[in-house]
Structure 1
Amino acid sequence: MADKLKKGSLVRAARENLENSVEATASDTRFPPYIFESKGEIVDLNDEYALVKFYVPTPNIWLRLDQLEGVD
């Protein structure tokens, strides 16, 4: 799925990939529920990360492409 993600794609975090990641062990593992339950939009991409804007009053977040799943 990660190869199909592009700017403007609607996504949410994939819980199983994010909770067991290196990033999770390097920071607070209490992820806010909105990243798993609501839609976010990819606003920028680089080689393996996407900048995701969630429609809640919080800053955008960089997540690895394999930590995201597309939503309709």
Structure 2
Amino acid sequence: MAGKLKKGSLVKVIAEKLVNSLEAKASDTRFPSYLFESKGEILDMEGDYALVQFYVATPNIWLKIDSLEAAT
């Protein structure tokens, strides 16, 4: 699925993949609910990561591409 994602794609976060990721283990694991309950848009991509903008009043966030799926 990650191969189909590109700039401008609407995405949802896959909770299981984010919670069990190396990035989650290296930081605070109390993720805000909007990450899993809302859609975001990919603004930029760099290597294995995507900069995602959620439509809430919060900064954009870099997430590993394999923890994202296309939103329906």
Give the TM-score normalised by the residue count of structure 2. Answer: 0.97
Match of 2:10 in 1: 10
Instruction: Please give the root-mean-square deviation of Cα atoms over the aligned residues, in Å.
Output: 0.6
2:34, 2:60 → 1: CA distance? 12
Match of 1:31 in 2: 31
Give the TM-score normalised by the residue count of structure 1. Answer: 0.97
Q: Which runs of 5 or more residues in structure 1 are unaligned?
A: none
Match of 1:44 in 2: 44
Residue 19, structure 1, aligned to residue 2, structure 2: no
Once the two structures are TM-superposed, the CA of residue 12 in structure 1 deviates from its matched residue by: 1.4
Q: What fraction of aligned residue pairs are identical, expressed as a percent?
A: 67
1:47, 1:30 → 2: CA distance? 25
Q: Which runs of 5 or more residues in structure 2 are unaligned?
A: none
Runs (4 or more) in structure 1 with deviation over 6 Å come to none
